[in-house]
Amino acid sequence: MSLDSHIEKVLWTKFQISKRVTELASQITSDFSSVSPPPLVVGVATGSFLFLADLVRQIQLPISIDFIRAESYGSGTESSGAPRISLDLKLEVKEKHVILIEDIVDTGNTLSCLIKHLESKGASAVSVCTLLDKPARRKVHFELLGDGKYYKGFECPDYFIVGYGMDFAELYRNLPYVGVLKPEHYN
């Protein structure tokens, strides 16, 4: 079985993704070069793991890295709208600037929940770096904390997408590109 045959069309190739990740890392390096203490980079598991790995290897700063898991999809294609934190941070965020790394910002529910959670733990600022931004699906307006910044790789049309860490029912994360999953594979 070829996973590629499950994809209706490729939206961003591995080469387009790589180029954009390099640009984002360069911008983050520039923006945070004089921030002390250095920022804490927090990957939102599990979808951000490939993006995070590629991004942090190109950030030229002494950063710390941690993960948090917020679940809102289960095995469906629609967010439940009520994310819950199922794996919390190991590192201390008090008085630190946290850069949340997301695979996709969709409804805004998960991101809003995570920003509030980090604020409750004493983070001084929260920035967000997402590979994909899907504003057509936004339901919740989230506010960054402190002098947080918003970085986005690509604006995503309203398709159900997989690849480069993003899944449907825990499958397709290993695709090296981002593509539209054929409906017969999720209906």
Say which residues have a Cβ less than 8 Å from residue 15's Cβ, sequence separation at least 6: none
Q: How far, in Å, CA of 168 to CA of 145, rounded? A: 31
Interstrand relation of 161-162 and 84-87 (parallel, antiparallel or unpaired): unpaired
Query: 112: closest CA among 155, 153, 151, 72?
Result: 72
Active site (annotated) includes residue 106? yes
Say which residues have a Cβ less than 8 Å from residue 57's Cβ, sequence separation at least 6: none
Question: In a 3-state reduction of DSSP, which class is residue 44?
Answer: strand
Q: How far, in Å, CA of 171 to CA of 174, rounded? A: 8
Name the catalytic one among 54, 103, 106, 133: 106
* Catalytic residue ranges: 106
